[in-house]
Amino acid sequence: MAERFEEDALRAVGVRIDAEHPKGIIFDPHQPQLRVTDLGAVRGDGIFETMLVVSGGVRKFAPHLDRLRRSAEIIEIGLPPEESWRAAVELGLEEFRTRRGLPEEISVRLTATRGVDGEPASEDPRWSGTYWVLLTPVSESMQAARGKPISVMLLDRGYDSTASARAPWLMLSAKTLSYAVNMAAYRWAAKHGHDDVVFHTSDGQVLEAPTSTLLMLSHAEDGRPQLTTPTLRTGILPGTSQGAIFAAAQRKGWGLRYGPITPEQLRSAEHAWLISSVRLASPIRQIDEAQMQVSESYTQQLMEFLAEDLALTYPREV
Amino acid sequence: MAERFEEDALRAVGVRIDAEHPKGIIFDPHQPQLRVTDLGAVRGDGIFETMLVVSGGVRKFAPHLDRLRRSAEIIEIGLPPEESWRAAVELGLEEFRTRRGLPEEISVRLTATRGVDGEPASEDPRWSGTYWVLLTPVSESMQAARGKPISVMLLDRGYDSTASARAPWLMLSAKTLSYAVNMAAYRWAAKHGHDDVVFHTSDGQVLEAPTSTLLMLSHAEDGRPQLTTPTLRTGILPGTSQGAIFAAAQRKGWGLRYGPITPEQLRSAEHAWLISSVRLASPIRQIDEAQMQVSESYTQQLMEFLAEDLALTYPREV
């Protein structure tokens, strides 16, 4: 019984949204839900966002929704209104509460696809595709891994720094489902003994990691900490966690900078991290063969920035 | 009744294959079949092939299977043995026959995904993912479009010609499900009044179309027709239709060449086509603003090469 109890508590919850269910309808993610003709499955033709729920409060709901909307505009698919996504997330959380109490942390993934080829789900373009929310309790191993120093491998992303600007059809700044290259980069790094990847352009600018944002810290001449993250002009994703950290750090008087960054500058930073919504801040201890200094206190500070950022947190409605 | 009859005849047939059903099991593609946690749908993490069945005979079965296997090796997923794929295709064709007779032409798509994250479908790596075959009657509009002259737009693929060799994690020569960029390129071309796209590298070599292979024809000094297709060294997909055409043309004594091709050389070709398994040969009548000469007779000849290529055709077993 105890085992069964735990299993149920850890099971993911799915919520579909469509024109008939604008506030969402629960489904069991262990059962088939998608047709094989859904363009999300046929061609990775869709978009997603992953965010973190802590104690029933969704972190950075608005920035994630903004980025989802931006991705939808770039790939030109319809998207249900924000209140539907909010209602669907709330419905999923309520399902956990009803079942046996809310897990302390839940990872929430919003997905939107172009729908089934030639068969729009609705005449209304806002509902023409396939939309769902998947809520998965964050595993203990993931929680334990947070803040642990990592080794990263620099890998060429194949594009130069101007590709995004001159070739908008590459949609570099949309968060699409077409993530096969990101996954291949992870496998490549793992085979070479590293934990993660930092991509760089073919002309030598560091970009981002396959599923997180790069952040560097050094001290300005006046002694203030200064955070630097790669410029968005290369077409990398604007990081919602990086945005929340910048907002909190600014309130504290830290310096902030977006810039083109070379691998050499990255290695010369006092400290560097990979930042993402669920894994939070992972300090980089090694870049290829080069060692980096890890700061436990600054790592802790970044985690606190992400937790304190109430202005960007969607409050739990009970 | 007549309408119902026609609808049934045009409905697609799905065949899933797994360790318990190594010869396949029929499913209705109008019903959900995939979990939202399948990595094919989560991250475009899978591979596919599309081939053509004419009068019950599968064209180029072996080359498509070879390329599927090569894609599986590159992205490192398990793949059922060839006899399973063959049995599944046969089962799907038999379903059509039983239902109301085989349509003259059927498009057959083989798909393999990495399966559900953290839950391999089988301990046996050959069966660890999700595998299915989708058989769809070729529409009359698609059949009518064959051989029709098209206008193409040259678009930068963002990579230079050495990216594939120096960055294998980009998996340029695997036919993955991560096709969002290919679809975006189509939309871009359509908005600019073109029918299709020819990608080129950032350093000026023409590559391939989003879902077909580029083929050029000129005459050698001795008067023989000479076919040229872009070199595979840039990481483009080896075209199965281009391969079949080359094999047939060689038997006829034509010249054959793989080469780096510049946009200027493409525009200077006597004739050019986009070639693919279902659309066959589409003569290019315009490249950006430049007009091209269309040859009906050579287009017809290429179609015949594709039809005659018995050595590469999987014979119907009845």
pLDDT at A317 over 50: no
Tell me the pTM.
Answer: 0.94
pLDDT at A2 over 80: no
- Beta strands B57-58; B130-137: pairing state: unpaired
At B235 the pLDDT is 94
Token pair of A5 as six digits: 């109890």
For residue B17, the cross-strand partners are: B131
Sign of the CA dihedral with B191 first, then B194, B198, and B203 last: negative
Residue ranges of chain B with per-residue pLDDT less than 50: 1-6, 311, 313-318
Token pair of B47 as six digits: 């591979």
Considering only CB atoms, which chain A residues are within 8 Å of B183? 39, 43, 45
At B268 the pLDDT is 97
Rounded CA-CA distance A242/A265 in Å is 19
The three state secondary structure string of chain A is CHHHHHHHHHCCEEEEEECCEEEEEEECCCCCCECCCEHHHHHCCEEEEEEEEECCEECCHHHHHHHHHHHHHHHCCCCCCHHHHHHHHHHHHHHHHHHHCCCCEEEEEEEEECCECCECCCCCHHHCCEEEEEEEECCHHHHHHCCCCEEEEEEECCECCCHHHHCHHHCCCCCECCCHHHHHHHHHHHHCCCCEEEEECCCCCECCECCEEEEEEEECCCCCEEEEEECHHHCCCCCHHHHHHHHHHHHCCCEEEEECCCHHHHHHCCEEEEEECCCEEEEEEEECCEECCCCHHHHHHHHHHHHHCHHHCECCCC
At A3 the pLDDT is 45
Token pair of A24 as six digits: 């969402």
In chain A, how long is the greatest CA-to-CA distance?
61
With CB atoms and an 8 Å threshold, state whether A182 touches B44. Answer: no
Q: Give how far Cα B17 sits from Cα of B25, B85, B249, Å.
A: 6, 8, 37
Other C-beta atoms lying within 10 Å of the C-beta of residue B136: 22
With CB atoms and an 8 Å threshold, state whether A180 touches B75. Answer: yes
Single-letter residue type at B314: Y
Rounded CA-CA distance A36/A292 in Å is 46
The mean pLDDT of chain A is 93
Sign of the CA dihedral with A191 first, then A195, A197, and A198 last: negative
pLDDT, tens only, B184-221: 999 999 999 999 999 999 999 999 999 999 999 999 99
Considering only CB atoms, which chain A residues are within 8 Å of B116? none
Rounded CA-CA distance A136/A143 in Å is 13
With CB atoms and an 8 Å threshold, state whether B180 touches A75. Answer: yes
Considering only CB atoms, which chain A residues are within 8 Å of B134? 36-37
Q: How large is the angle between the packed helices A82-100 and A61-75, nearest 10 degrees?
A: 130
Considering only CB atoms, which chain A residues are within 8 Å of B170? 157-158, 181, 184
Rounded CA-CA distance B29/A234 in Å is 40
> Quick one: pLDDT band at residue A9, thresholds 50, 70, 90?
low
Classify B205 as helix, strand or coil: coil
pLDDT, tens only, A117-151: 889 999 999 999 999 999 999 999 999 999 999 99
Rounded CA-CA distance B228/B219 in Å is 11
With CB atoms and an 8 Å threshold, state whether A14 touches B30. Answer: no
Nearest chain A residue to B171, by CA: A181
The mean pLDDT of chain B is 93
Contact between B249 and B314 under an 8 Å Cβ cutoff? The reply is no
Question: What CA dihedral angle connects B180, B186, B191 and B197, to 10 degrees?
Answer: 140
Token pair of B260 as six digits: 């780096």
From A230, A240, A249, select the one nearest A302 (Cα to Cα): A249
At A318 the pLDDT is 31
Contacts of A237 (CB under 8 A, 6+ apart): A67, A173, A175, A208, A213
Other C-beta atoms lying within 10 Å of the C-beta of residue A252: 11
With CB atoms and an 8 Å threshold, state whether A44 touches B180. Answer: yes
Smallest CA–CA distance, residue B152 to chain A, in Å, is 15
ipTM at complex level: 0.93
With CB atoms and an 8 Å threshold, state whether A36 touches B44. Answer: no
Classify B267 as helix, strand or coil: helix
With CB atoms and an 8 Å threshold, state whether A169 touches B160. Answer: no
For residue A137, the cross-strand partners are: A106
At B314 the pLDDT is 42
Considering only CB atoms, which chain B residues are within 8 Å of A166? 156
| Backbone phi, psi, residue A62, to 5° | -60, -50
Tally DSSP H helices, then E strands, for chain B.
Answer: 10, 14
pLDDT over 70 percentage in chain A: 94
Considering only CB atoms, which chain A residues are within 8 Å of B139? none
In chain B, how long is the greatest CA-to-CA distance?
61
Token pair of B242 as six digits: 């281009």
| Backbone phi, psi, residue A46, to 5° | -170, -175
Rounded CA-CA distance A199/A263 in Å is 10
With CB atoms and an 8 Å threshold, state whether A31 touches B35. Answer: yes
Q: Does an H or E element contain B84, and which?
A: helix B82-100
**Polymer length in residues for chain A:** 318
